[in-house]
């Protein structure tokens, strides 16, 4: 078992819990998709797993090693975190942003090597943005920034990816390309937790799904079993119909 989350709880103010009593595990090469509305606690949970926020109770462990006992550098060899939003005030090139993923593998005074830059360039190429390598990160679109950050996380070479709404800011075509990339990375052995608002994305990934609402997991299981019209009505408060288009499942809102 690579990642184990046991009875975790978090509160910003010590009074109202953002989430509580959440437990799950993720195996090597597994995609674990957390589906839920705004304010349900998805992003905060990812930040706690990456130790950016400290849990009030419970335990997160990688290969049996307690997360709180790890240094940031050690943790970075296990987990790579992609936030929803990132604003840079410095005009680093896209290639420089990508190679920043090598930081956990370098000593404090060391500079990236030729091999480090080659790895970063390979990831830019895989994501189809190698043509942006010399452009300032601050001068590219939101979707292109998202892809540059993913290149950085992949250049980090973690064993685990924490992706907070990885398709945000991406156009429809790039959303599908991103989902296909996530599936490919999992097939190569990377374990992935991602958050999303879109049930169709979980169907596309054929992933394990946790439906999260009001700080708790309402249901956990296979996407086909968990994402039902009844469950979607509970967490989103709208009527939807699940239909097949060829062999793919899609969720369609039902007009009143």
For residues 250, 251, 252, 256, the Cα torsion angle rounded to the nearest 10 degrees is 160
**Predicted pLDDT at 6:** 96
Domain-wise residue ranges, the chain: 3-253
Q: Give, in degrees to the nearest 5, the angle at Cα 183 between 202 and 226.
A: 25
pTM of the entire predicted model: 0.89
Encode pLDDT of 94-119 as tens digits.
999 999 999 888 877 788 889 999 99
Averaged pLDDT, 198-221:
91
pLDDT digits 0-9 by tens, 143-181: 888 889 999 999 999 999 999 999 887 888 888 888 998
Whole-angstrom distance, CA of residue 71 vs CA of residue 49: 14
CATH class of 3-253: alpha beta
In this predicted model, which residue has the larger pLDDT, 207 or 192?
192
Inform me whether the pLDDT recorded for 31 exceeds 70: yes
Rounded CA-CA distance 211/226 in Å is: 8
């Amino acid at each position: 078992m690579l990642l184990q989350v046991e009875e975790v709880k978090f509160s910003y103010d010590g009074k109202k819990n953002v989430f509580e009593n959440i437990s799950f595990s993720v195996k090597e090469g597994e995609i674990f998709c957390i589906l839920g509305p705004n304010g349900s606690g998805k992003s905060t949970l990812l930040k706690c797993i990456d130790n950016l926020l400290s849990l009030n109770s419970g335990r997160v462990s990688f290969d049996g090693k307690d997360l709180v006992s790890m240094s940031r550098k050690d943790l970075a060899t296990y987990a790579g975190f992609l936030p929803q939003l990132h604003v840079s005030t410095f005009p680093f090139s896209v290639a420089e942003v990508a190679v920043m993923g090598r930081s956990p593998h370098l000593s404090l005074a060391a500079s990236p090597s030729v091999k480090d830059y080659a790895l970063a360039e390979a990831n830019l190429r895989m994501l189809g943005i190698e043509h942006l390598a010399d452009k300032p990160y601050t001068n590219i679109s939101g979707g292109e920034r998202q892809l540059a950050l993913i290149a950085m996380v992949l250049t980090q070479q973690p064993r685990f990816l924490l992706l907070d709404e990885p398709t945000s800011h991406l156009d429809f075509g790039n959303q599908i390309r991103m989902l296909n990339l996530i599936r490919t990375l999992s097939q190569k052995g990377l374990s992935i937790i991602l958050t999303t608002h879109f049930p169709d994305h979980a169907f596309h990934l054929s992933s394990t799904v946790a439906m999260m609402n009001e700080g708790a997991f309402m249901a956990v299981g296979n996407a086909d079993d968990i994402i039902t019209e009844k469950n979607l009505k509970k967490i989103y408060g709208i009527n939807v119909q699940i239909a097949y288009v060829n062999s793919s499942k899609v969720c369609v809102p039902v007009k009143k």
